[in-house]
Amino acid sequence: MTPFPLTLTDFLGHWGSYIVYLLIGFAFGFVLEISGFGNSKKLAAQFYFKDLTVLKVMFTAIVTAMILIFLATALGLLDYNMIWVNPTYLWPGIVGGLIMGVGFIVGGFCPGTSLVAAATLKLDGLFFTLGAFFGIFLFGETVGLFEDFFNSSYMGRYTLPEMLGLPTGIVVLGITIMALLIFYGGEMVEKIVGNKTAPSERPRWRFAAAGGLVALAAVVLVIGQPTTEDRWEWIADEQEALLAQREVQIHPGELLEKMYDKRLNLILLDVRDEAEYNLFHLLDARHVPLADIKAQTDDLRGEPANTLTVVMSNGEEDATEAWKILVAESVPNVYILEGGINGWIDTFASAEFKAAQSPADASRDQLVYSFSSALGSRYSFARPPLHEFELEYTPKVKMKAKSGPTSGGCG
């Protein structure tokens, strides 16, 4: 089981967990200040090629953090699924970025650095901060006018390795080398334009640091990022026990009750063949073949905290396979329909329907009932009335608090 990120609210409470964020913010502000980011002249010099501090600090930070993050995920210490990756809204991001570029060169700061400048009594930082508040206010008042654009070109959680079709390790190593080349070029430019010839500005240790970063990036590449199978292996002992004790298989009666529970966001995943799904499925069940389950995990993790996911096949075998994938990929609150669709029909179909059947032998995950027409969820027992059935079962669903961030970035 990957121990990080921590679910801070578990041991610090809701508001208590914010102390950690306060400390992180403190460290962030402190580092920005000692890097000279509270000084607008130093920031603006970036854009006249005189002093590339902004470029060096930013890219060094990104590369360092990137390598450490993907090293931690490769080693199974950190769950990449549980960290916030800014969703891509391509064009609003680019247009917003261009507007920010204008603000940067005119005002001399970005929002974070202006706070540091204001905190160290720089009056230009204070005016910039006030301006930023005004701009944010203006945005809140005007975003309604271009809501469509604001929400356009949405690509979800979309990463560079996915876009390039390359393993994460290659991308990490590539970005590291690219950054080092940019630093090399940047130092050349500084020498020419900024007359920076002082050797103290170019200490020897920076070659060692660059070598260290490349070496670590190479380690990330060699270890590789965990596959779904690796992730299952890490948790297999614990989870196989739950399966064996039947802690995660819920009775049809419990599922029916959940179908009527308006406080829940219930997601039903039917992993059978399309033909079987067309013959009969539960009301609002989505057809997701076993092979496509993994592609659903990003979306499922993005669902709200009150989401309960139930997977089903004819019996339990395929549903159990799907369950393993979902659990390995950190989807919370996933259960298996006990007895599958066969069990459901057995429990809820009318006596007449069952009387007309000669149930086949359920060998391996086969549909034992036959249907004369493919009515899908238009059978009455696709969602039978809740109170017509007196069923006894042990409720097993325990909704767990969602770990991992639902909103991040600058949300």
Partner 1 sequence: MATQSVPREARSSSWLRRAAKPYVHPYVGGILLGIVLFLAFFITGNGLGASGGMNRLLVVVEDAIVPDHVDTTPYLLEMAGGDRNPLDSWVVFVTIGVVIGGFTSGWLHGRLKVETNRGPRVPIRLRWVMAFVGGAFMGYGARLARGCTSGQALSGGAVLSVGSWAFMFAVFGGAYALAYFVRKLWN
Question: Residues touching partner 1: how many (CB under 8 A)?
Answer: 138
Query: Cis peptide leading into 5, omega within 30 of 0?
Result: yes
Q: Which residues of 170-193 are buried (b: 16+ CB within 10 A; e: fewer)?
A: ebbbebbeebbeebeebbeebeee
Element (H, E) at 325: helix 317-328
User: Which part of the chain contacts partner 1 (CB under 8 A), choosing from 131-139, 279-287, 363-371, 388-396?
Assistant: 131-139
Find the shortest distance in angstroms from Cβ 211 to partner 1.
13
Residue 232 in the binding site for partner 1 (CB under 8 A):
no
Q: Which of 74, 118, 279, 334 binds partner 1 (CB under 8 A)?
A: 118
Q: Which is nearer to partner 1, 191 or 246 (CB)?
A: 191
Tell which positions 41-100 bind partner 1, by CB under 8 A. 41-42, 44-48, 52-53, 56-66, 68-69, 72, 77-78, 80, 82-90, 92-100
Subset of 331-390 contacting partner 1 (CB under 8 A): none
Beta bridge partners of 280: 376
- Determine the Cα–Cα distance for residues 44 and 42; give it in Å rounded to an integer: 6
Pick out residues in 177-196 that bind partner 1 (CB under 8 A): 183
With CB under 8 A as the contact rule, the residue among 165, 199, 304, 409 that binds partner 1 is: 409
Chosen residue from 1, 10, 16, 30 binding partner 1 by CB under 8 A: 30
Q: Does 161 bind partner 1 (CB under 8 A)?
A: yes
Residue owning tokens 């396979």 = 321
Choose among 395, 50, 55, 381: nearest CA to 191. Answer: 50
217 binds partner 1 (CB under 8 A): no
- Of residues 1, 13, 16, 120, which one binds partner 1 by CB under 8 A? 120
Nearer to partner 1, 24 or 374 (CB): 24
Pairing relation of β-strands 154-156 and 265-270?
Answer: unpaired
Interacting residues of 307 by C-beta distance below 8 A, sequence separation 6+: 264, 265, 266, 267, 300, 332, 333
**Closer residue to partner 1 in complex, CB, 300/310:** 300
- Out of 13, 16, 35, 243, point to the residue binding partner 1 (CB under 8 A): 35
- Give the burial string for 135-158 (b: 16+ CB within 10 Å, else e): eeeeeeeeeeeeeeeeeeeeeeee
Of 189, 193, 206, 219, the residue at the interface with partner 1 (CB under 8 A) is 206
d(CA 278, CA 211): 59
Among 16, 101, 302, 359, binds partner 1 (CB under 8 A): 101
